Structure 1
Amino acid sequence: MKDYRRLTSMLRTFLLFFLILTSTLLLFRASAFADETGVKATGYARNFFILTNLGDDMAFDALSRLRLRLNVKPSESSYFEVAYELVPGFRDGDISSAYVPGPALFSYRAVDLDENIYPPDKNSGSDFVLAQNLDRLLLTLSTSALDISIGRQSIAFGSARVINPTDIIAPFVYNTIAKEELVGADALRVKTPLSEMGELDMGIVFGDDFEPDKSAGFIRLKTYQVQTDIAFMVMVFRKNILVGIDLARSIGGAGAWFEAAQVFAQGASGENYLRLSVGADYSFTDGLYTYIEYHYSGAGTGSPENYFNAIAETAFTDGAVYLLGRHYIAPGLTYEITPLLVFSAQALVNVEDWSALGSTGFEYNAAEDVYVNLGAYVGLGQESDDPTRPENEFGLYPDVYYTALNFYF
């Protein structure tokens, strides 16, 4: 009965916050406009109910993500964007023992707002959390010769569909539910065209307090040769050096890609490693889209008992690597059941220990700018009796079931 009252109270409070967020959204939509001055306000409210299960432990989360975005274009040669997110959430239950892989998404920010508004101490054990994220604060200046972007912006690279070896600034992990917006990083970026299909892209991405040892710099050359998009990249990140290549082209109606990165680790705990992804996709005429990708990670290991020994290496601490093994196959598909209902299914399979992380989902366009999502991420693999010595990789992952109600404006 106590748990029932606690859950009921949590749901009532969440519904109150949902009404507040929805009202704010409607007021914001009413004031949104795009006129000859080049000012436009947009955004969305995404509302999630998430059930997470690991062994005998279970947690229920209810959260909303309100994103407000303002775009200003004062002239043909300048553009300003700001985006702010407010995220109230509630949790009932504890799965603190769950293995949660992935890079620190906000590590390439020179200065930032405090992520937690309430409680100030995220380890306080409070059921209610109110978080914030200033995700964009960007000024872009354009001339006939170059584009200059200054401020918080998305920085992402690579054409691979599942794992991008050249994308190490703020990549999503495979089982991220909300992948709609890339996480903003603080950067100075310059792009200049070299030809009709060629481009030179270079930039500095700033870490905490602009410290050089926590920052990154890159140069990326993109061209088009023999009907293939080709990109070469060199990046220096936290004293490490990445050399990458990215190829993408069409082959007989299918798309194909090859993306690889060799990292020369300079830290005392680092070893050099190679990562690569190669794959293909194909769209059928009946609304079916399929893909398959192979990924190799030289930073991982083929022995499950050594999985946790690797996570102290540079690849995991600085290089955005989170997969513990070496060889993976990632098939997937989306199917348009009706113009308003889309089904998707994908899996990430460790072909050495034969564990897998599977995902299925439905998206329904319930009304104009209103979408409903239902999905799950399920780890397939035997759970180890000793958490410090896993028998496989994805048996460490919790099962996640979610639904979302999304409003866009």
Structure 2
Amino acid sequence: MRECQRLNRRVFFLVASLLLLASFRAFASWDEYTLRGYVKDLVGLHRTDPHLVEPGLRLSNTIHARQNLRWYPTYTLTGALEVKTWLAALLIENEAMDGIEPVAEGVPEFGQARYFDWSWTPIDQEDVTLMTTIDRAWVDWYAGQIQVTAGRQRIAWGTNLAWNPIDLFNPYSPLDFDNEERPGTDGLRFQYYTGPSSKVEVAAAPVEEFEKSVTAALVKINRWRYDLHFLGGRRGRGTVVGTAWAGQIRGGGFRGEALYTYPDEDSHIPEPYLVAGVSGDYTFPNSFYLLGEVLFNQRGTTGPAGGLHWATAIAEGELTPARTSLFGQVALNITPLIRGSISGILNPHDRSWYIGPSIDQSLATDLDFTAIALIFGGDERTEFGDLGQMLFLRLKMSF
């Protein structure tokens, strides 16, 4: 009983400290420093599909705080430290959920290969987990046409809006809706700007298992009103070459990416393969937004794509286990303060699907409310058929 009381006190003081930090906005900026961030409260309800186990239900609550510190010692030097803290509590769970992953882990995610382990879990109990991680920690030096960044950072390569085949360093899942900053990696990045919209870039991200490290170079140019990307390098046990573009056709966005991988002779992958995607989007004058995207994975399966297919595809950077994937989204500003959207993914081979309706509302300055559902359907062992249904309510206060 005393241990439970001590745990409750620690949780209370943590939440109070996070809210107090958010209230000190007036003191969060200095001449050489800036401090920004947010506190989010996410309530999640997860219901399993009957064909997986007996219908199960889980209700959880996660408090997520983020502090983004910037340091500007000179005009050419910038430092950053960004820390994330999660406090996750399991509120309700019935016996049918035993062995089923928590709500936060129920959606397939792309792991991040990092050299340093900068995560701490001071509380790790069955019903309560407290974890803190350093999500960004980098130093950036800029002089003329040269920019060098070292540390844990976001190396964002890619032009598409749902899946990015050429994003060698930080691939992510379009289902990961609650991580707007997207993953980061421990690496070194060198950029040389040859013009206003052109550059040469070299980046490396080592990991302890050296065969999983990534080293690559990218050239970006602008021709015919299109941004064109060309890249090559090493990822894991393979050599990669790729290209991408971004431009417009009659006012609508037109993008594409392609990555070809040549596995080493000692690799478990028997032959080269292509992963490519094409997307288009358009915004009408009344704010109605349309997005469509197609992804092709030469190594993907045309059969049921659930189970181990997910883990294999993510580990190899293939983004999806299916041979073909279709993504769509529609959105509209219902009022100046309310925006609604519906996104969806279809696996045309095993006929499993995902639909995600959401509503975002600005309640006040720096205070936002979001309601989002993740609805999955399909037969057993298909890509989305075993994931059930999820509902999330989120309140976010920025500072």
**What corresponds to 2:68 in structure 1?**
69
Counterpart mapping for 1:140-159 below 5 A: 140-159=140-159
Question: 1:23: how far off?
Answer: 2.1
Q: Would you say 1:262 and 2:265 are equivalent positions?
A: no
Instruction: Indicate conservation of the 8 Å contact 1:301/1:307, yes or no.
Output: no
Residues in 2 aligned to 1:235 and 1:59: alpha-carbon distance in whole angstroms: 44
Letter in 2 for 1:335: L
Q: 2:27 aligns with which of 12, 18, 31?
A: 31
Question: 1:227: how far off?
Answer: 1.5
1:255-307 per-position Cα deviation (integer Å, ceiling 9, x unaligned): 10111111122353224321111121101000111111111111211011x75
Residue 194 of structure 1 aligns to a residue whose secondary structure is: strand
Residues in 1 aligned to 2:134 and 2:258: alpha-carbon distance in whole angstroms: 32
Residue 394 of structure 1 aligns to a residue whose secondary structure is: coil
Residues in 1 aligned to 2:293 and 2:321: alpha-carbon distance in whole angstroms: 17
Residues in 2 aligned to 1:31 and 1:131: alpha-carbon distance in whole angstroms: 26
Residues in 2 aligned to 1:116 and 1:299: alpha-carbon distance in whole angstroms: 37
Q: Would you say 1:370 and 2:373 are equivalent positions?
A: no
Q: Would you say 1:181 and 2:181 are equivalent positions?
A: yes
Q: Would you say 1:102 and 2:109 are equivalent positions?
A: yes
1:10-31 per-position Cα deviation (integer Å, ceiling 9, x unaligned): 999977754442123224x242
Q: 1:308 to 1:369 in 2, by over 3 A?
A: closer
**What corresponds to 1:387 in structure 2?**
none
Instruction: Indicate conservation of the 8 Å contact 1:249/1:257, yes or no.
Output: yes
Instruction: Indicate conservation of the 8 Å contact 2:44/2:59, yes or no.
Output: yes
Letter in 2 for 1:236: R
Residues in 2 aligned to 1:356 and 1:407: alpha-carbon distance in whole angstroms: 33
1:33-79 per-position Cα deviation (integer Å, ceiling 9, x unaligned): 132xx211111111100111112122211011111111111111111
Residues in 1 aligned to 2:147 and 2:47: alpha-carbon distance in whole angstroms: 47
Q: 1:357 aligns with which of 330, 333, 354?
A: 354
Q: Would you say 1:117 and 2:122 are equivalent positions?
A: yes
When normalised by structure 1's length, the TM-score is 0.86
Residues in 1 aligned to 2:44 and 2:228: alpha-carbon distance in whole angstroms: 40
**What corresponds to 2:234 in structure 1?**
236
Letter in 2 for 1:337: I
Residues in 2 aligned to 1:65 and 1:133: alpha-carbon distance in whole angstroms: 11
- Which structure 2 residue ranges, 5 or more long, are not aligned? 1-6, 50-54
1:303-354 per-position Cα deviation (integer Å, ceiling 9, x unaligned): 11x75564575x542x333522111211101110111100011100111222
Greater shift, 160-169 or 398-407, is seen at 160-169
Instruction: Indicate conservation of the 8 Å contact 1:374/1:403, yes or no.
Output: yes
Count of residues paired in the alignment: 378
**What corresponds to 1:41 in structure 2?**
35
**What corresponds to 1:222 in structure 2?**
220
**What corresponds to 2:394 in structure 1?**
404
Q: 1:59 to 1:135 in 2, by over 3 A?
A: same
Residues in 2 aligned to 1:168 and 1:398: alpha-carbon distance in whole angstroms: 30
Residue 385 of structure 2 aligns to a residue whose secondary structure is: helix
Residues in 2 aligned to 1:311 and 1:370: alpha-carbon distance in whole angstroms: 36
Q: 1:290 to 1:215 in 2, by over 3 A?
A: same
Q: 1:39 to 1:307 in 2, by over 3 A?
A: closer
Residues in 2 aligned to 1:288 and 1:16: alpha-carbon distance in whole angstroms: 44
Residue 74 of structure 1 aligns to a residue whose secondary structure is: coil
Letter in 2 for 1:141: W
Identity of aligned residues (%): 21
Letter in 2 for 1:22: L
4+ aligned runs moved over 6 Å, structure 1: 10-16
**RMSD, aligned CA:** 2.3
1:87-134 per-position Cα deviation (integer Å, ceiling 9, x unaligned): 1111242464367533323x2x22122342222xxxxx6100001110
Q: 1:13 to 1:49 in 2, by over 3 A?
A: farther
Instruction: Indicate conservation of the 8 Å contact 1:102/1:320, yes or no.
Output: no
Letter in 1 for 2:108: P
Q: 1:320 to 1:96 in 2, by over 3 A?
A: farther
**What corresponds to 2:3 in structure 1?**
none
**What corresponds to 1:347 in structure 2?**
344
Q: 1:307 to 1:41 in 2, by over 3 A?
A: closer
Letter in 1 for 2:64: R
Residues in 1 aligned to 2:322 and 2:107: alpha-carbon distance in whole angstroms: 15
Question: 1:393: how far off?
Answer: 1.8
Question: 1:253: how far off?
Answer: 1.0
Instruction: Indicate conservation of the 8 Å contact 2:118/2:134, yes or no.
Output: yes
Q: 1:363 to 1:60 in 2, by over 3 A?
A: same
Question: 1:216: how far off?
Answer: 1.0
Q: 1:181 to 1:204 in 2, by over 3 A?
A: same
Letter in 2 for 1:250: Q
Greater shift, 367-376 or 16-25, is seen at 16-25
**What corresponds to 1:89 in structure 2?**
88
Residues in 2 aligned to 1:354 and 1:12: alpha-carbon distance in whole angstroms: 49
Residue 172 of structure 2 aligns to a residue whose secondary structure is: coil
Q: 1:328 aligns with which of 325, 329, 346?
A: 325
